[in-house]
Amino acid sequence: MSSPARGVFIVFDGPEGSGKTTQAARLRARLENAGRSVLLVRDPGTTRIGEQIRSILLNPDHQEMAMRCEMLLYMAARAQMMAEVIAPALDEGKVVLSDRFVSSTLAYQLGGEALTADEIRRVADIAIRGKWPDLTLIFDMPVEQSMARVRRAKDRIEQRPMSYHEQVRRNYLSQAEGDASRYVVIDAARSVEEVEKQVWSAVERVLGP
For 20-33, letters b (16+ CB in 10 Å) and e give: bbebbebbbeebee
Domain membership of residue 1 (yes or no) is no
Q: Distance of alpha carbon 90 from its chain centroid, rounded? A: 17
pLDDT at residue 152, rounded to an integer: 83
Domain membership of residue 86 (yes or no) is yes
Distance CA 86, CA 83 (A): 7
pLDDT at residue 208, rounded to an integer: 78
Domain count along the chain: 1
The parent domain of residue 86 ranges over: 8-207
pLDDT at residue 3, rounded to an integer: 42
Domain membership of residue 2 (yes or no) is no
Domain membership of residue 3 (yes or no) is no
pLDDT at residue 110, rounded to an integer: 96
| Residues in the chain where the model's pLDDT stays below 50 | 1-3
How many other CB atoms sit within 10 Å of the CB of residue 112? Answer: 13
CATH number at residue 106: 3.40.50.300
